[in-house]
A and B are shown apart, each in its own frame.
Chain A
């Protein structure tokens, strides 16, 4: 456990706040805090998955500006070379992604190029399903890859939620688990315990009911529930403290996506054992990155929001020295066609870049740039199986066994400094 975090917990759970927690006793909380710090021997890395719904146009996100094919095929959507944020001599970030360019320069952002799957599906539902199940073959698979990941690390004494979805839409299928309940939340309030107004304050000196010893009736379920209840109120208190102490200290833009990232950052800071966060951008259904018409303006607005929001998140974590524990990855169900359609938009494609952000990245562009002449139905071909990215984050970052989640071992990418 780093010094910063211990200091933070001390500050957050200082004596005064301990006394004020409704009916909870000081020793109940201190004990839990101690329990929490001993737990820290376990791995505590966090994965944040960001879904870009609709099929992001990779070619106008990380632009191969020196390729004549790009300019030739994009008569209205071509981005002016001078406005791009250059990466080397051939590629450049979209003009409105200055924040991403800076993250890239500082080594907090990597781009995995040409990611896709061997059984591409050009319908939104089909392609998204494959990204969610991580199974391009069994199309009616009933669990998502992150749901299976959550199930794979469950044990009968687990009391923390391994993964959560943060957002206002229905939970994406990637988190569907056979056994574990993966919560969906909209705000921190969903994870803090409310009280009926007028709860007497004079209870603070007595013990909280969940920490009183129960006579042993040999009921392991009761022990488990008692332990979990105790942990629940400790976590709730931590989240409340974090919300109070950091409400206005970090600067986030006023986008809804940024607000979601702020919530994720606060939950990481509260240190409540959540290892996987899932965030969605684009609405989760129709529209979003699915720019069939008038792409220029709409895509521009979306990329700007994405870039600014992720950057604010990275800076927020970095300031609190939490960035080394966090890895963010984006994905979209597919890329888009090279050639634009007649409606100043693009069609459904195949390969697309995946962004990784965090404090332990090797940085740079990963994998070759997909060719713009050797196309698959008008769209760049993939060369990196998306399950290699999944294997990377599961094995190398979270320390889960990707083989159990993905049914076989995929070669992780060499992108992390761990």
Chain B
């Protein structure tokens, strides 16, 4: 297939429709024409909603402003593409946005069936336009075939009283009313046409798993994906991926049974909603709620109504994570979770043994934490009097909720000071400067900070990376804050006071929530631009110009993102995940 025809066929995948033998309203929904053995289906029920968002004026303006786009736009290939679009616009007598909307407005249905069969059904709004469009493609395909001296590659035949076409001898398609049916092999088209002829026969919609998945995806979705996991899990690569038991305690703690849920599921459903500058993806699997005896039960709330706390807001926040994880039961199950001891785990236990004066880590330390755990990452503000590091790391803090704060506060304080003391002792042995401990107040809360002094340093604008760290411990109310900087600790003390006043409501049924702020992300990337560029040069072997373009693209993409929010939990026996993306197209 020549490159040009490839381009047209690719376009065909997105666009299409026509014919006038039947009235559109008499056609059944497209998913009833999909064979029951489909492994994956993707249904775009309202393509126009997506088109409005992605090809709307704001988005177009934002995309065309990208340096990458401008570079691409000057290539001959891109010009050829634009010419084709122009040609189409003139022939169809409309602009490409309207054309695309009219050709696909009734919906797009896409399915992958066994034996590498791919099906696509497109419902047009404008029958005449679909036919005109098909004519154009037909003419192009014919002239291309003649150029290749294989004119009989383009042919048509009658099947089940429908005219079926092929442009290259491999693909097959047909137009029925406003509907275009496309298959990558003739057998695929045959199967669809047979379903059309015998309307009552078994199709995808009569499959129980599909019905359950559609319900889970929500009826108003702009797009829905269904995946038959029972079949997909037999694919060796996927099976291997799911079987991989993670040897990394931190990863196991963070992922908390998501892999297990997929392993136990028979289907996966994905729904997409979109609104003004906003996309929402919802994923669900039907894996059983983890048994309370399983080692991964530490992420499942015991009582209904329990769940994570909302994320904390602090100034300059880049990201926030809220988890529901019972550390006590997690650590008690460590032998089942990690049969091979890593040296890191043993070292961790050694240190905890020292810091907590021999208290049992599982039964005397971790048991003091409640399952609501939060993490906040924020951009730092540097005091020029203290100094600014060359490389600017974000500050991050962990927030635990304590069961018996009044008994545990001093235990934690002692452990923390021991840790600082140990660091100082070790650094001193290597003739390196240590941390100075201070105990100031934020409002009425006394907290502890340890910092490196910069008083002997003349040039305070170009400090070592270690000056990004001013570790702090604060225990406002029933919370324990472990922060990499005192600045973030102060903000969190304020935020926690505010939260306590308003009594936070837990998000029931959710065990993980991540939020990301695009504006702040781009800001911290910008602050480290030079370092990132140099890193890109040595890591990728790019020229300075290429490295600058790469990093700047990354920064501008981060700017497009206003915020993203991912939540995962178990609701009505299903493991559900929701990703909400808000775009910034100003």
Contact = CB atoms under 8 A, between A and B. Distances in A.
Nearest to B338: A301
Contacts of B358: 293, 341-344
Interface stretch (A159-167, A241-249, A281-289, A369-377): A281-289
Contact of B347 (A287, A301, A344): A287
Given A297-B335, A342-B358, A287 B340 contact: no
Contacts of B350: 287, 290-293, 345
B353 A293 contact: yes
B346 A298 contact: yes
A244 B345 CA distance: 36
Contacts of B352: 293
Contacts of A291: 346, 350
Nearest to A282: B343
B interface SS class: helix
Contacts of B240: none
B349 interface: yes
A293 B347 CA distance: 9
Given A256-B340, A343-B354, A294 B361 contact: yes
Given A293-B358, A294-B353, A343-B354, A301 B339 contact: yes
Contacts of B344: 283, 286-287
Contacts of A302: 341
Interface string B321-362: 000000000000001000111111111111011100110010
Contacts of A332: none
Contacts of B361: 293-294
Interface residues of A, number: 26
Interface in A226-280: 255-256
Contacts, number: 64
A298 B353 contact: no
Nearest to A302: B341
A285 B343 contact: yes
Contacts of A345: 350, 353
A173 to B, nearest CB: 18
A53 interface: yes
Contacts of B348: 287
B208 to A, nearest CB: 39
A142 to B, nearest CB: 19
A343 B361 CA distance: 10
Given A290-B347, A342-B358, A283 B342 contact: yes
Contacts of B340: 255-256, 301, 305
A298 B347 contact: no
- The residue among A53, A255, A290, A343 with the most chain B CB atoms within 10 A of its own CB is A343
B578 to A, nearest CB: 37
Contacts of B342: 283, 287
B354 A288 contact: no
- The residue among B339, B344, B347 with the most chain A CB atoms within 10 A of its own CB is B347
Interface in B23-50: none
A308 to B, nearest CB: 12
B336 to A, nearest CB: 13
A304 to B, nearest CB: 10
B346 to A, nearest CB: 4
A256 B340 CA distance: 9
Contact of B343 (A287, A294, A305, A342): A287
A81 B371 CA distance: 41
A144 interface: no
B425 to A, nearest CB: 12
Nearest to A255: B340
Contact of A283 (B339, B343, B353): B343
B244 to A, nearest CB: 13
A92 interface: no
A363 interface: no
Given A298-B341, A301-B341, A287 B346 contact: yes
Nearest to B362: A294
Nearest to B346: A287
Interface in B41-98: none
Contacts of A256: 340
A261 B13 CA distance: 53
A54 interface: yes
- The residue among B342, B343, B345, B354 with the most chain A CB atoms within 10 A of its own CB is B343
A288 B354 CA distance: 17
A286 B354 CA distance: 15
Interface string A344-373: 110000000000000000000000000000
A297 B343 CA distance: 13
Contacts of A297: 335
Contacts of B335: 297
A126 to B, nearest CB: 11
- The residue among A293, A294, A302, A345 with the most chain B CB atoms within 10 A of its own CB is A293
B349 A293 contact: yes
A287 B345 contact: yes
Interface in A37-58: 53-54
A300 to B, nearest CB: 9
Interface in A140-196: none
Contacts of A283: 342-344
A305 B341 CA distance: 9
Contacts of B339: 301
A293 B276 CA distance: 56
A343 B418 CA distance: 15
Contacts of B347: 286-288, 290
B347 to A, nearest CB: 3
Contacts of B354: 292-293, 343
A290 B335 CA distance: 19
Contacts of A284: 343
A293 B349 CA distance: 6
Contacts of A285: 343
B125 to A, nearest CB: 48
A296 to B, nearest CB: 11
Contacts of A341: 358
A97 B156 CA distance: 75
B500 to A, nearest CB: 35
A343 B121 CA distance: 68
Nearest to B247: A256
B418 to A, nearest CB: 13
A290 B346 contact: yes
- The residue among B335, B339, B357 with the most chain A CB atoms within 10 A of its own CB is B339
B353 A292 contact: yes
Contact of B349 (A282, A298, A305): A298
A53 B342 CA distance: 12
Contacts of B341: 298, 301-302, 305
A342 B356 CA distance: 11
Contacts of A342: 357-358
A287 B353 CA distance: 13
B349 A53 contact: no
B29 to A, nearest CB: 47
A288 B349 contact: no
A302 B361 CA distance: 20
Interface in A106-130: none
A167 to B, nearest CB: 12
Nearest to B334: A297
B280 to A, nearest CB: 42
Given A293-B358, A294-B361, A343 B343 contact: no
A261 to B, nearest CB: 15
A345 to B, nearest CB: 6
A211 to B, nearest CB: 35
Given A301-B339, A301-B341, A288 B353 contact: no
27 contacts: A53-B343, A255-B340, A283-B342, A283-B344, A286-B343, A287-B342, A287-B345, A287-B346, A287-B348, A287-B350, A288-B343, A290-B346, A290-B347, A291-B346, A292-B350, A292-B354, A293-B354, A294-B361, A298-B341, A298-B346, A298-B349, A301-B341, A305-B341, A341-B358, A343-B358, A344-B358, A345-B353
Given A287-B346, A294-B349, A342-B358, 5 more contacts: A53-B343, A54-B346, A288-B343, A293-B358, A294-B353
The 3 closest A-B pairs by CB, nearest first: A283-B343, A293-B353, A287-B347
